[in-house]
Structure 1
Amino acid sequence: MSDSRQGNARPKFPLGRVYATPGALELLERSNQSPHTLLSRHVRGDWGLVHPDDAAANEQAVRRGNRIVSSYSIGLDASNGDGGLIWVITEADRSATTLLLPGEY
């Protein structure tokens, strides 16, 4: 799994419009975490808990204009069936980025 904390100061790609599902917002609120933190990590290339192959695919997606997916642990929350994970997905055309629970995909 990739959990590198890449310290790039500049965003790697545009986020477009930012959306969040009610489930993601509820989990963030219960965990007292800001969606801005996850978006900042995502846009700078810290893909969170994705498999190394998926991290490499994200790096290619940045260059080629494909969809980018990150996964972040928001703590131990098994009540929603998603294990406390939030996915951040930026569309290939960079028109939108969405924060959502895996079960909401």
Structure 2
Amino acid sequence: MSKRKFPMGQLVATLAVIELMRKESISLEELFALHVAGNWGGVSEATRTDNERALDGGGRLVSIHEVAGRRVWIVTEADRTRTTALLPEEF
């Protein structure tokens, strides 16, 4: 597994994400592991660039991973106190 690139703080997931992951028999920890390793998934180039800058200078970190045709967003707050897994419509 890749090295952690930043602290994630408290890990939180919405009920919709928990239900999706359970239905698909996928561990939410897998998505969190990708995120903390700097695998930003399906984000835009602009977001990818913002994430890389935020690793050094602070700022929100966002990754997007597809699960069963649904996009799951993983968002770490700028102060690194919380990382949340949610569906885009819950943002």
TM-score (normalizing by structure 2): 0.95
1:32 to partner: Cα distance: 1.0
Pick from 60, 66, 75 the counterpart of residue 67 of structure 1. 60
Residues 1:54 and 2:47 aligned together = yes
Residues 1:39 and 2:13 aligned together = no
Aligned length: 91
CA distance in 1, matches of 2:10, 2:72: 18
2:88 alignment counterpart: 102
- How well do the aligned residues superpose, as a CA RMSD in angstroms? 1.0
1:58 to partner: Cα distance: 0.4
CA distance in 2, matches of 1:56, 1:75: 27
2:21 alignment counterpart: 28
Residues 1:90 and 2:76 aligned together = yes
1:39 to partner: Cα distance: 0.5
- The letter of the residue matching 1:31 is E
1:52 to partner: Cα distance: 1.4
User: Where in structure 2 are there 5+ consecutive unaligned residues?
Assistant: none
User: Where in structure 1 are there 5+ consecutive unaligned residues?
Assistant: 1-6, 77-83
CA distance in 2, matches of 1:13, 1:91: 11
Q: Which runs of 4+ in 1 moved over 6 A?
A: none
TM-score (normalizing by structure 1): 0.83
- Match of 2:34, SS state, is helix
Q: Percent identity?
A: 38
